[in-house]
Amino acid sequence: MPNGVMSGDGSAENPYIVMDGFDFNALRNISSSSTSFKYVELGADIQLDMYASFTPIPECFFNIEGNNHSIIDFYISGAKAGLFANLHTESLTNLIIEGQVTGTSTGAYATDQAGTLAATITGRGANISNIQCFGTVTGKSAGGMAGVLGDDSYAASSITGATTSLLNCAFQGTINFAPLYVSTTLNSSTPYCGGLIGQLYVTSHRNNFTIKNCMVRATIILTSNGGITIAAGIFGCTYYGRTEYANSIMECVVQVVFIVNGTGSASNATRYGGLIGYFTPYQNDTQINSFTGENSAVHSKIVLNTATILMAGGLANTQTSAAVYGRTSISTSYAVIELQDNGNDTANVHIDGVSRSAGYIINNCFWDREKLEATYTKYAGSYVYPGKDTTTENLKSRVWLAAQGWDI
């Protein structure tokens, strides 16, 4: 049915069937709410090139089955940029998307997000699986798939202990990270960028998050404005609220080229982590806010086009303070990290094979000493222990990794 006249009534038994770009655009006219999620299925591949600039679908409550169809050929430019501005969902599966997204908000803070799929995905114990994203994202706070993955405030008590899962999801493409806000302290407003998710944002609504078997193959181009900026292979920043959370990244693969333009200062440094950029649980010892990373492989190449202050960790960057140490662990993962300085002074560049923060618990993790030393001889090393350095040959050897106790 052409021109936005979809079959179905949006119920689970009779979902709306999207057959073309006009149907997809017509989703903005469907009334959905926190108490009435609508069900949507793709019945064909969708092209959006009939729109010179596609306007994001506004805040909606949809469960979407993509049936392995694609949404392609879209260009989006504006604030809260993505196919969806804020997609609340309980189920989002089997979808391929490819396009170009440019966030253009002139707001000063990190709350203006951009991502190919959505500016914000709000999960209610959601199953988000088999979502493959391709394209270019530009924004001052950005993620390859979504700018923010958050929890849902509706009927919080009904989802206590629920887990929103990102399973078998991927982003391949380029992220142009150009923050406006000059941050001088690390907090939830610091500009952030993640290869998959910009910020994992949990307030007081009781969702846990699991990111498993996901892949990022991206070029992240940072144009620094002289303030603190955070970038990472999977998610740039977390912000947790005031209750118990148990969150994890497991079995993910990251390949990132991180290109740094612009300058920072000793107090306002650029921060990069292969998996995690900045972990900031709610700082109250009466609460439990934990994070686990396991069985991931990260290969990062850092390109410095300008002399700047840079702090990088092969797997993780920084954690807030001693008040929350011991709640975050990374195990059986490895990092390969290289530096290309393009002739710039690297005296103010601090690279650690595993983590820039002493606060993480590091168990049986390795970093490639040969690759790092071949390109950068001044790595700090102060926080690497108990991460272990090894050779390129060992990290390529399944036999050697198995001998270290890895289940491969």
CA neighbours closer than 13 Å in the CB half-sphere of residue 312: 35
What is the pLDDT at residue 405?
Answer: 77
Q: Are 311 and 267 a contacting pair, CB within 8 Å? A: no
Q: What is the pLDDT of residue 381?
A: 52
The pTM of the full predicted model, rounded to 2 decimals, is 0.92
Please tell me the predicted confidence (pLDDT) of residue 65. 97
Q: What is the CA radius of gyration of the chain?
A: 21
Average pLDDT of the residues in 373-381: 69
Return the percentage of the chain with pLDDT > 70, whole number: 81
Measured distance CA(233)–CA(216) in Å, rounded? 7
What would the two tokens of residue 36 be? 């009435």
Q: What is the pLDDT of residue 141?
A: 83
> Tokens at residue 250, please?
């497991």
Q: What is the Cα–Cα distance from 17 to 128, expressed in whole angstroms?
A: 19
Burial of 297 (0-12, 13-18, 19+ CB in 10 A): middle
CB–CB of 383/330 below 8 Å?
no
> Does the structure show a pLDDT above 90 at 123?
no
- Calculate the alpha carbon distances from 356 to 51, 255, 272, 320, 360 in Å: 45, 19, 9, 12, 9
What are the pLDDT digits (tens) for 25-70? 999 999 888 788 999 999 999 999 999 999 999 999 999 999 999 9
Q: Which helix (H) or strand (E) holds 223?
A: strand 215-223
Largest distance between two CA atoms of the chain = 63
pLDDT tens across 10-22, in order? 899 999 999 999 9
Q: Could you read off the pLDDT of 261-275 as tens digits, one per residue?
A: 876 666 677 889 999
Q: How big is the chain, counted in residues?
A: 408
Q: Are the C-beta atoms of 219 and 256 separated by less than 8 Å?
A: yes
Question: Is a pLDDT exceeding 70 seen at residue 230?
Answer: yes
Question: Residue 315 in 3-state DSSP?
Answer: coil
d(CA 40, CA 37): 10
The pLDDT mean for the chain works out to: 83
Contact indicator for 36, 63 with CB cutoff of 8 Å: no
Task: Just give the CATH number of 109-403.
Answer: 2.160.20
Angle at 122 between CA 118 and CA 123, to 5 degrees: 125
What would the mean pLDDT of 114-136 be, rounded to a whole number? 93
- Domains of the chain, residue spans: 109-403
Mind listing the pLDDT tens digit for each residue in 126-177?
Answer: 899 999 999 999 988 899 999 998 877 655 545 566 788 899 999 999 999 8
pLDDT given at position 286: 44
Q: Which helix (H) or strand (E) holds 334?
A: strand 334-340
> pLDDT band for position 290 (50/70/90)?
low
Contacts of 179 (CB under 8 A, 6+ apart): 110, 140, 141, 191, 224, 225, 227, 229
Would the pLDDT of 377 be above 90? Answer: no
Instruction: State mean pLDDT over 390-398.
Output: 85
- Show the tokens assigned to 355: 């983590």
